[in-house]
Structure 1
Amino acid sequence: MQTIHELVADLVTRYSGDAEHPGDGGPGLIERLDTLGLRTRQPANGGRTPPGSRPPTSLEAVSWSERVKREAVRLDAELRNSRHEQPWLRALRAIAPGAENADRVPEVRRTVARWHGTVLTVLGLRGPSVHFRQVLCLTCGQRTVYGRADDDRPRAWCINDACADEETGEPARYEGPRIYLLTENRVS
């Protein structure tokens, strides 16, 4: 599991990943969103489009990039208990120390990990997660379990912030043999 510092480094500096999910060492994930080429078909029958008629990058990628930047600025100001907002890059880099000073590391780590995972999914570096609607979390009993099968490695997790696993104190995670317990905990 990556720390806030490592997640932020993946977003802004270089995508290194961790031991379980190694990155490619390329540019930061937000830079990739900002420079992602537009994925559209060329005009039919050899037609031309006027210069400047298409946006320079994918609208979905730009939208997520802007959302992460906005949320980072807001979160940084909240952690510093200030109305002054810093530029997004500075704010994003200040989130880890701000979380430590505000004693909110687990909560902030989940938020930054959500941004990280969303960006990976938008870039196509990881498949989307699936909501298991018929499954109750074994810890909190809510229908808040999502899952993914990356590289033939099934895993699931609870997204309920009130869920607290006995071992970690964070929302429950299901990997290995423990994931099969979820199949017995279905709601009709």
Structure 2
Amino acid sequence: MATLDGLVADLLTRYDGDDQAPGDGGPGLLLRLDSLALRTRQPQQTGGRAAPGSRPPTSLEAVSWSQRIKGEAVRLDAELRHSAHEQPWHRALRAIPPGAESAGRVPEVIRTVARWHGTVLTVLGERGPSVHFRLAVCLACGQRTVYGRADLDRPRAWCVNDQCADDDGQPARYEGTRLYLLDGGRTS
């Protein structure tokens, strides 16, 4: 999983990604949502990465997601600082990692920022949407709150229950052979 500083940098300044999902080093993901020219990707035959016939999201959809994430970042920063004063979104986003550390809420904040990061990548078409595995029961918390993504290079699933805690204290994640343990709650 990426660090909080890395996720914020991807959203704000430059999309570098991480070892498992490397970025392209281009502009920050929120700037891409705000700029139609950066959202438009060309078919692979002309040097782009999008499949032929694919279209970027409509401008209002992308901008709406951008504004929502920026608003959530401003509110989260104010909450972490225990302040009624709200900073501009770019300052608030930069202040989230130290604020989370001083508030002792790093794991929770990482999940929130990672959700924003994933949402932006999905809206930009960099990855497909996640799917609710409604028959799968989380092995850590026993709830039917497992979502996943069936990417060809790295299929994976995760629990979205905030009270879920696996061996490492984080919500359960399923990758590799562990993914096959999710059998829809059937017992043998």
More deviation, 96-105/147-156: 147-156
Work out the percentage of aligned pairs sharing the same amino acid.
75
Which residue matches 1:78? 79
Distance 1:186 1:110 in 2: 29
Q: Report the Cα offset of residue 154 of structure 1.
A: 1.3
Q: Report the Cα offset of residue 153 of structure 1.
A: 2.0
Which residue matches 2:104? 103
Distance 1:128 1:62 in 2: 18
Distance 2:142 2:11 in 1: 33
Matched, 1:63 2:81: no
Amino acid paired to 1:175:
E
Q: Report the Cα offset of residue 184 of structure 1.
A: 5.6
Which residue matches 1:178? 178
Q: Report the Cα offset of residue 185 of structure 1.
A: 2.6
Distance 1:95 1:154 in 2: 30
Distance 1:8 1:14 in 2: 9
More deviation, 150-159/113-122: 150-159
Which residue matches 1:155? 156
Which residue matches 1:9? 9
SS at match of 1:16: strand
What value does the CA root-mean-square deviation take over the aligned residues? 1.6
CA contact (8 A) 1:8 1:93 kept: yes
Q: Report the Cα offset of residue 93 of structure 1.
A: 0.3
Which residue matches 1:34? 34
Which residue matches 1:89? 90
SS at match of 2:155: strand
Instruction: Provide closer, same or farther for how the CA distance between residues 186 and 131 of structure 1 changes in structure 2, counting only shifts above 3 A.
Output: farther
Amino acid paired to 1:4:
L
Distance 2:73 2:81 in 1: 12
SS at match of 2:100: helix
Distance 2:112 2:135 in 1: 25
Amino acid paired to 1:28:
G
CA contact (8 A) 1:138 1:185 kept: no
Deviation string 1:74-128 (CA, Å, 9 cap, x unpaired) is 0000000000000000000000000000000000000000000000000000110
CA contact (8 A) 2:80 2:100 kept: yes
Structure 1 unaligned residues grouped into runs of 5+: 40-56
Which residue matches 1:53? none
Which residue matches 2:21? 21
Distance 1:183 1:32 in 2: 38
Deviation string 1:28-53 (CA, Å, 9 cap, x unpaired) is 000000002598xxxxxxxxxxxxxx
Instruction: Provide closer, same or farther for how the CA distance between residues 135 and 184 of structure 1 changes in structure 2, counting only shifts above 3 A.
Output: closer
CA contact (8 A) 1:148 1:156 kept: yes
